[in-house]
Chain A
């Protein structure tokens, strides 16, 4: 049973380009969470999704950021028109139930660098 898979591990984008980060949850997990970690800071919640539904996106910037978790395939975090401040590590976690009551398993993260 593979763990949470994120790809790419490293992504370099020029300012103004789009970044697409992918997350495949563990088998049997239907809850996916995205977090952002800036250097020397803790992980910050961005968005919580279940299959085909966004449950809570209160931590995600209103503009340029979007997330989806389709019926088939991985969850995607999309950042349009990236800026230098988007440079960070983006982690995905999955759980079989809501994370407040159960273990969350994290992927290895995608490190986005905007140049």
Chain B
């Protein structure tokens, strides 16, 4: 079954700290993996897209990694800010289809 699982479900950290979010997927065939940030009441906004051959990709303080062999990805946030409070969603594009398969997200809260 094509699934995307994320952990933890929720996370609370203090401003300035780093954190890492995890994503495991069983989607096949694999096309690419994306991380989105979704603020409460808003639509998802893309952070990174990685294909099979990419191991890591950065976007400012966000760094995503991909291990296509173990089907795992992580999103590392450095020096967190209050505005990082949001849900972070791992999304896998299934090859040869036009479907994006969404994880349920990790809800991050950054406190001062």
Contacts and interface: CB of A to CB of B under 8 A. Distances in A.
A42 B38 CA distance: 11
Interface stretch (B54-62, B76-84, B90-98): B90-98
Contacts, number: 62
Interface in A1-44: 4, 31, 33, 35, 40-44
B102 A100 contact: no
Nearest to A48: B98
Contacts of B43: 4, 91, 93, 106-109
Contacts of A42: 4, 89, 102-105
Nearest to B44: A106
A104 interface: yes
A105 to B, nearest CB: 8
B100 interface: yes
Interface of B: 4, 31-32, 41-46, 49, 89, 93-105
13 contacts: A35-B102, A42-B4, A42-B104, A43-B89, A44-B102, A56-B98, A91-B44, A93-B43, A100-B32, A100-B96, A100-B97, A108-B43, A109-B42
Interface of A: 4, 31, 33, 35, 40-45, 48, 55-56, 59, 91, 93, 98-101, 103-109, 111
